[in-house]
Amino acid sequence: MRPSNRLLRLLILPCLLCLPWFLQSAEKPNVIVIMADDLGYGDVSCYGAKDFETPNIDLLASEGVRFTSGYCSASTCTPTRYSFLTGTYAFRHEGTGIAPPNGPLTIQPDTVTLPDLMKKAGYQTAVIGKWHLGLGEKGKGPQWNEELKPGPQEIGFDYNFLLPTTNDRVPQVYVENHRVLNLDPKDPLWVGDKKPSEDHPTGISHRDTLKMDWSHGHNGTIHNGISRIGFYTGGHAARFRDEDLADKWVEKSNEWIEAHKDEPFFLFFASHDLHVPRIPHERFQGATRLGFRADSIVQLDWCVGELMKTLDRLEIADDTLIIFCSDNGPVMDDGYQDFALEKVGDHRAAGPYTGGKYSVYEGGTRTPFITRWKGRIKPGVSDEMVCTVDIAGSLASLTGTELPEDSCLDSFNVMGALLGDADAKGREHLIQQDNGSKGNYGFRKGNWKLQRQDSKSARNVVVEKPLANMKVPQFQLFDLSKDPSESTNVIEEHTDVAEQMKQELAALIEAGRSRK
Ligand code: NG6
Ligand code: CA
């Protein structure tokens, strides 16, 4: 335990008797949420991967709780991140699908967010890594050469060091607090969705020069030999090399943790791995036989190890709760020819589950989910259902912070389950969404899983096959206890269960909230 923390507890102890119950039970460990990008349930060795090793994530799991029913709330990035930070399902708000390069901030600054709650509890807060929640005002979007406001600092983060969109979307620059880092005013940054000039080199006009070819989309402006979604010019001094991103997240996180080691801190470590274009650092290229997709998982694992080492070095591992999760399920070909599919062999990225990124099958949202708090969490495996949307409500409860009635509308307090407490329950039901296409949901309750897919464009990706649009009935029912891969629709045999779940799903959507 940190000396400062120990002292604090000694000073506070005598006053405890006169405090309300929720403050009496407050605990304020540091919290690090490590969110991987596009990491599937079967993509790490402690969840069954056999073709490569993830020793650091495995260690985290062996020292903490490994959840078999850990979820993110959506099968794409922006809605999961939105609901993680707001504690409210993203489908309740328009404009929370995959954010474009010039998208404005998707979270309104007056929203009570997870970092707001942590600040209220006395924490220092930071987000380091992929953002992809937009920047700037509604109707205006990011003003790249000016102050990028509103952004993370306007919704509760004291510090941010960001990849502003995704690595496959322009521009390839870092944003530190309100500014593009190293931007030379003499070389302003322009970002748009149309070619700025006839002779602007793109992935189409200069395809033969690319170091990684595209397969669909991703044929706009070329940077670092890779063409991207969207177009940009300028900002040359500010541009990063894809190979260096992971090192940068670790470097900045270590600096920030070190600076705040004596106060409670909340760090959202938002890895870009293993989102496309998968370009791990040279030292990880070829680390596996499965190509850059799995090499990026090894790189992610290295990041986890570095963060754990930092906690050990600063002697704060016993004071730090780590939550490891993913933003959506896996995908093989997501727009670049990195041969993920050709080299996948027997590896099953979604483990036993069907579907992956973009899908409401289990593979879209059931992902690795691990909590570790040395000395506090008894190591084990939990089958309780927990979701990234619950982190806000759960941490509020842990830190004794009151949750305003009209905020975090779908965030359940599952702190007991997250800490692996015997008999503690996870959530009773979960609504799983895709990117936000109207009317596509998964609804899990106990071992039942109802799928409702109103949208004809539903993408039910079988991960190990190229993107495929399978036709599915509007409603399907599966018994996950017997059929985890959702292959036998039992809706005809269980019309009563299906009817009840249809109604409950509709009621939860209609009610605008699921937290009572
Ligand atoms: C899709 C992109 C995909 C990826 C995804 C967002 C195309 C054809 N596909 O539109 O490559 O960028 O958006 O991924 O452009 S996420 O993990 O950030 O949600
Ligand atoms: Ca993602």
Give the residue extent of every domain in the chain.
Answer: 27-187+232-427, 431-511
Task: Report which protein residue has its CA nearest ligand 1's atom 4.
Answer: 334
Which one has a higher pLDDT value, 436 or 10?
Answer: 436
Q: Is 272 a pocket residue for ligand 1 (Cβ < 6 Å)?
A: no
**What pLDDT is attached to residue 3?**
46
Q: How many CB atoms lie within 10 A of CB 98?
A: 18
The model's pTM: 0.95
Q: Give the Cα separation of 239 and 262 in Å (integer).
A: 34
Q: Could you give the 3-state DSSP secondary structure of residue 81?
A: helix
Q: Give the Cα separation of 386 and 383 in Å (integer).
A: 9
Q: Is 77 a pocket residue for ligand 1 (Cβ < 6 Å)?
A: yes
Tell me: pLDDT of 23 over 60: no
- Average of pLDDT values for 319-336? 97
Q: Is 130 a pocket residue for ligand 1 (Cβ < 6 Å)?
A: no
**What pLDDT is attached to residue 472?**
81
75 neighbors 359 (Cβ within 8 angstroms): yes
Instruction: Identify residue 190 by its one-letter amino acid code.
Output: W
pLDDT tens-digit profile of 93-112? 999 999 999 999 999 999 99
Residues 6+ positions from 467 with CB-CB distance below 8 Å: 216, 333, 459, 461
Same topology, domains 27-187+232-427 and 431-511? Answer is: no
Q: Is 435 a pocket residue for ligand 1 (Cβ < 6 Å)?
A: no
Tell me: pLDDT of 17 over 50: no
Q: Which ligand has an atom closest to residue 35 CA?
A: 2
DSSP letter string, 124-154: EEEEEEE--S--SBTTTB--TTS---SSGGG
Q: Is 267 a pocket residue for ligand 1 (Cβ < 6 Å)?
A: no
274 upstream amide cis, omega within 30 of 0: yes
Task: Report which protein residue has its CA nearest ligand 1's atom 15.
Answer: 217
Q: Is 168 a pocket residue for ligand 1 (Cβ < 6 Å)?
A: yes
Distance 367 CA to ligand 2 centre (A): 12
**What pLDDT is attached to residue 459?**
57
- Average of pLDDT values for 178-184? 98
Q: How many CB atoms lie within 10 A of CB 61?
A: 25
What does DSSP assign to residue 103? P
Q: Give the Cα separation of 382 and 474 in Å (integer).
A: 32
Ligand 1 atom closest to 276 (CA): 11
- Average of pLDDT values for 342-365? 95
* Residue 268 host element (H or E): strand 265-270
Tokens found for residue 501: 């779940």
**What pLDDT is attached to residue 470?**
66
Task: Report which protein residue has its CA nearest ligand 1's atom 5.
Answer: 98
Distance 221 CA to ligand 1 centre (A): 16
- Average of pLDDT values for 469-498? 93
Q: Which ligand has an atom closest to residue 37 CA?
A: 2
Q: How many CB atoms lie within 10 A of CB 469?
A: 11
Distance 132 CA to ligand 2 centre (A): 9
38 neighbors 334 (Cβ within 8 angstroms): yes
- Name the phi and psi angles at 500, rounded to 5: -65, -40
54 neighbors 47 (Cβ within 8 angstroms): no
At residue 148's C-alpha, the angle toward residues 147 and 149, to 5°, is: 95
pLDDT tens-digit profile of 196-223? 999 999 999 999 999 999 999 999 999 9
Tell me: pLDDT of 464 over 70: no
Distances (CA, A) of 59 to 24, 54, 56, 389, 464: 32, 9, 5, 25, 28
- Average of pLDDT values for 489-495? 98
Distances (CA, A) of 318 to 33, 63, 388, 439: 16, 11, 23, 44
Q: Which ligand has an atom closest to residue 76 CA?
A: 1
- Name the phi and psi angles at 382, rounded to 5: -125, 140
CATH code of domain 431-511: 3.30.1120.10
Residue with tokens 């990041």: 303
Q: What percent of the chain has pLDDT over 90?
A: 90
Distances (CA, A) of 276 to 30, 109, 190, 236, 462: 31, 30, 23, 22, 18
Tell me: pLDDT of 239 over 60: yes
**What pLDDT is attached to residue 461?**
59
**What pLDDT is attached to residue 465?**
61
The whole-chain average pLDDT of the chain stands at 94
Third-level CATH fold of 27-187+232-427:
Alkaline Phosphatase, subunit A (3.40.720)
Strand (E) positions, 197-244?
222-223, 226-227, 231-233
Q: Which ligand has an atom closest to residue 38 CA?
A: 2
pLDDT tens-digit profile of 32-41? 999 999 999 9
**What pLDDT is attached to residue 237?**
98
Q: Is 326 a pocket residue for ligand 1 (Cβ < 6 Å)?
A: no
Residue with tokens 């969109």: 165
Q: Is 229 a pocket residue for ligand 1 (Cβ < 6 Å)?
A: yes
Q: Is 276 a pocket residue for ligand 1 (Cβ < 6 Å)?
A: yes
**What pLDDT is attached to residue 473?**
87
- Average of pLDDT values for 471-493? 94
* Residue 310 host element (H or E): helix 292-313
367 neighbors 326 (Cβ within 8 angstroms): yes
Distance 335 CA to ligand 1 centre (A): 8
